[in-house]
Amino acid sequence: MTTEPTHVTNFLRNIVEEDLKSGKHKTIVTRFPPEPNGYLHIGHAKSICLNFGLARDFGGRCHLRFDDTNPVKEETEYIESIKESVSWLGFDWGGHMYYASDYFDQLYMWAEHLISQGKAYVDDLTAEQIREYRGTLTEPGKESPHRNRSVEENLDLFRRMREGEFPEGSKVLRARIDMASPNMNLRDPVMYRIIHAPHPHVGDKWRIYPMYDYAHGQSDAIEGITHSICTLEFEDHRPLYEWFLENLPVPHKPRQYEFSRLNLTYAVMSKRKLLQLVQDGDVAGWDDPRMPTLMGLRRRGYTPESIRSFCERIGVGRSDSWIEMGLLEECVREDLNERAPRAMAVLRPLKLVIENYPEDRVDEFEAANHPQKPEMGTRKISFCREVYIEQDDFMEEPVKGFHRLALGQEVRLRNAYIVKCTDVVKDAAGNVTEVRCTYDPDTHTGGPAAGRKVKGTIHWVSARHALAAEVRLYDRLFADPNPSGDDWKSCLNSKSVEVVTAMLEPGLRNAAPEERVQFERQGYFCADMKDSRPGAPVFNRTVTLRDSWSKPGK
């Protein structure tokens, strides 16, 4: 594993430490067990960092295991994206990558073992009938009329299910536990269902597939997992997890522990909802930079270091809580502030013409790549008679406190000269299309008037040398901090992306995919890893320089 050890304590670290100290375990084995039915999201990052981090910090190992028990919803694309995301986040499973489907033969044999012990039976009830018979939280369930079939009949039916003799939905295998249990999960849960579909990992071998609750704990047992860590919604499943382990001849008995899942504002963490966004065309795929998936965050420009820092800051506990999106954004700001070189980019160009500057002249100025890190070096930037500035940096009738460019007002062009606005050019509709200025030639760095003070400094790009490039201004996908309910999609932010043609420093022409940069005064940006081409980068805004969402009315 490539990540740094962490020393932040939590209740799970304390449990592991005590188990090792007492000799209960000589080494710890954890696992990260995603279902390959979608891309991993930021909530999974918390589990990844926890499971791999514990193994790293205590000298154990962490397995990557695909809990691939439903071939209808699983795809090879999801498997590959999961492997890529875990690796990108900075963790290495070594030779310990497994699939629950690797254990299907063993799981089947153990299912027959339960049948032979009278602890499992084949049921003909439909899924709807099974729900009706299960009862409620206040009323016990009702036994299926097929619950007391003989061992011989159950084994015969189960083997015929395996051979594909029966149609989907016609029969299931259920554990025979207690229909009156106060824990709904113990009311004869389904262990196997019939699915006539090929499996992405094991092909056409099976016509029956185990349920997650059955496969999961036994996979842990086969792999020798010591600490089976999951989120709090599985706390009520723990008695079932333990029932299977107690009633099967498993080689090892892991222990399940639960922690609170990540709930992030302005986002949805349900893979079902994320899939719906993709299928409905609300986003451009699972890796759309507005999505909370790890591939989406990566494409947007988030660094693995910033996500690991975020997971460390939110901590690990047993109380569900909401985490502000602003904290995730602040983590990437802090990381990129340290590592991202600076450049100038004009997102909404307005031409500025310096009337007393020679038409054929080009000046070159030296600019720091990072104001606090001289070791990152400098770059040359060209300056000529015509430059682009931001439309927002000019106001024909300035309001009080506006210290940028206005008629009769001076401003410094960053790393260059002081200019004074003398006139404007307008189109037929009265919109300003060009501003005219004069410059003070003595005000450049090293010039006799370099120290002359003005109230405002703005960025610019030489019109003659500028690179025109597509820039995507991404924002939060939802306008409501808690998109929920049946109409959760009504909370989608209609301004979550704006595409502009910006004018950039020419040195950005050959930006490599995933190269990150701060556009001065604008925010942090990343060359898109899919759409950028040599000589034609496409930049995605990762995050603004400040949190604009904290302002009233956002």
CATH classification of the domain holding 480: 2.40.240.10
Angle between helix axes 76-88 and 42-57 (nearest 10 degrees) is: 60
* One-letter amino acid for residue 186 of the chain: L
Buried b (16+ CB within 10 A) or exposed e, 231-266: eeebeebbebbebbbebbebeeebbbbbbbbbebbb
The per-residue pLDDT for 320 is: 82
Is 175 part of a structural domain of the chain? Answer: yes
Q: What is the pLDDT of residues 439-454, one digit of tens each?
A: 999 998 888 888 899 9
> In angstroms, what CA-CA distances link 379 with 366, 382, 441, 519?
6, 10, 21, 14
- Residue 271 annotated among the catalytic residues of the structure: yes
- Tens-place pLDDT, residues 455-476: 999 999 999 999 999 999 999 9
Q: What is the pLDDT of residues 178-227, one digit of tens each?
A: 999 999 999 999 999 999 999 999 999 999 999 999 999 999 999 999 99
Q: Are residues 219 and 317 in the same domain?
A: yes
pLDDT in tens, 484-496: 999 999 999 999 9
271, 300, 385, 472: which is the annotated catalytic residue?
A: 271
Judgement on whether residues 390 and 449 belong to the same structural domain of the protein:
yes
Q: Which of 13, 31, 35, 174 is catalytic?
A: 35
- 265 vs 42, 254, 327, 443, 547, CA distance in Å? 12, 34, 10, 48, 14
Are 167 and 193 members of one domain?
yes
Question: Which tens digit of pLDDT belongs to each residue from 266-284?
Answer: 999 999 999 999 999 999 9
- Model pTM score: 0.94
Give the CATH number for residue 116. 3.90.800.10
Nearest 5 degrees, angle CA 6-CA 311-CA 478? 170
- Number of folded domains in the chain? 4
Quick check: is 334 in a domain? Answer: no
Taking the alpha carbons at both ends of the chain, their separation in whole angstroms is 41
Residue 3 lies in a domain: no
Q: Are 531 and 285 in contact, with CB atoms under 8 Å apart?
A: no
Considering the domain architecture, whether residues 378 and 420 belong to the same structural domain is answered as: yes
Assign 2 a pLDDT band (cuts: 50, 70, 90): low
- In which band, very low, low, confident or very high, does the pLDDT at 551 lie, cut at 50, 70 and 90? low
Say if 502 falls within a structural domain. yes
* Tokens describing residue 317: 């506990």
User: At which of 176, 210, 244 does a domain end?
Assistant: 210
Query: Which of 244, 269, 263, 266 has its CA nearest to residue 254?
Result: 244
Are residues 15 and 95 both part of a single domain? Answer: yes
Beta-carbon count within 10 A of 370 CB = 17
Q: Coil, helix or strand for 299?
A: helix
For the question of residue 205 being annotated catalytic, the response is no
* Res 1: pLDDT: 47
> Residue 550 — pLDDT band, cuts 50, 70, 90?
low
- State the residue range of the domain holding 409: 343-462
**CA 435, CA 413: separation in Å to the nearest integer?**
14
Under 8 Å between Cβ of 146 and 99: no
pLDDT in tens, 384-394: 999 999 999 99
- How does residue 3 score in pLDDT terms, banded at 50, 70 and 90? low
The pLDDT mean for the chain works out to: 95
Minimum mean pLDDT range among 2-16, 57-71, 177-191, 501-515: 2-16
Q: How confident is the model over 244-264, as a mean pLDDT?
A: 96
pLDDT digits (tens, 9 = 90+) for 297-332: 999 999 999 999 999 999 999 988 899 999 999 999
Query: Is 326 within 8 Å of 267 (Cβ atoms)?
Result: no
Boundary-marking domain end, from 423, 438, 462: 462
Exposed/middle/buried for 197, CB within 10 Å: 0-12, 13-18, 19+?
middle
- The residue-averaged pLDDT of 418-441 equals 95
**Both 179 and 94 in a single domain?**
no
Considering the domain architecture, whether residues 153 and 113 belong to the same structural domain is answered as yes
Beta strands at 418-426 and 97-99: parallel, antiparallel or unpaired: unpaired
Question: Is 24 a member of any domain?
Answer: yes
* CATH code, 249: 3.40.50.620
Lookup: tokens for 107: 């799981």
- Whether residue 316 is found in the same domain as residue 365: no
81 in a domain, yes or no? yes
User: 226 and 95 in one domain?
Assistant: yes
pLDDT of residue 6: 56
- Span 246-252, mean pLDDT? 97
Residue at which a domain ends, from 195, 210, 225? 210
Residue 46 falls inside a structural domain: yes
Tokens of 187: 């009311």
Same domain, 479 and 441: no
Does 2 fall in a domain?
no
Is the domain of 205 the same as that of 217? no
Indicate whether 410 and 261 sit together in one domain: no
Is 261 an active-site residue?
A: yes
Active-site position among 119, 160, 261, 414: 261
pLDDT tens-digit readout, 122-138: 999 999 999 999 999 99
Mean pLDDT score, 150-164: 98
| pLDDT above 70: percentage of residues in the chain | 98
